[in-house]
Amino acid sequence: MRSGQKKPNIKLFWLSAFVVSAVFLMYRVVLLLAENGQIPSIWFTLMMWALMLIGCGVFISVVILQRGFSSKPLLPDELPDSMNAAEKLAYLEDDRRRKKIAKSLMIPLIAIIFVFMFEIIELFYIPAIQSWFSSI
C-alpha cells in the first residue's frame, strides 16, 4: 500500500455487509411468505412502503446533516469573518459531528437502495433477458 493511500475500513465494510444482508433477507422472507399465502400480502405491501419511507427519510436526513451534498471538510478560512475564533471552532466541531452521523446513516440507505435495485432487476431485466434468449 502506498503511503498516500487510506487504509480500508474493514469494520465498516463488515457492518455494511451485515446490514445489507439483514435488510435483503427480511425483504425476501416476507416476500416469499406472502407469495406462499403464509402471511397476508398486506404485510409485504406495508413493509415495502415502510422501506421506501425510511429510505426517503434517511436520504433527506443525510442531505440535511451534510448541509447539502458536499463531503469535504470545512476550513476556518471558509467561514464568515463575523464569527470569532470560538464560534468558528464550535461550528467546525459541529460540522465534523454531523458528517460522522451522516456517514453512519449511509449504511441503511445503501441497504435499502440495494434491495430495491435487486427487485427492479429481478422484475424487469431478468424476464426480458430470458425472453430474449428463448427467442434465439
Give the Cα separation of 29 and 39 in Å (integer): 11
| H/E run at residue 129 | helix 126-134
- pLDDT of 4 strictly over 80: no
Global pTM value = 0.79
Give the Cα separation of 116 and 43 in Å (integer): 17
CB neighbours (10 Å) of residue 92? 16
Q: What is the mean pLDDT of residues 98-127?
A: 92
H-assigned helices in 8-125? 10-35, 41-65, 85-120
pLDDT tens digits for range 59-87: 999 999 988 887 777 888 888 888 888 99
Domain boundaries, the chain: 10-129
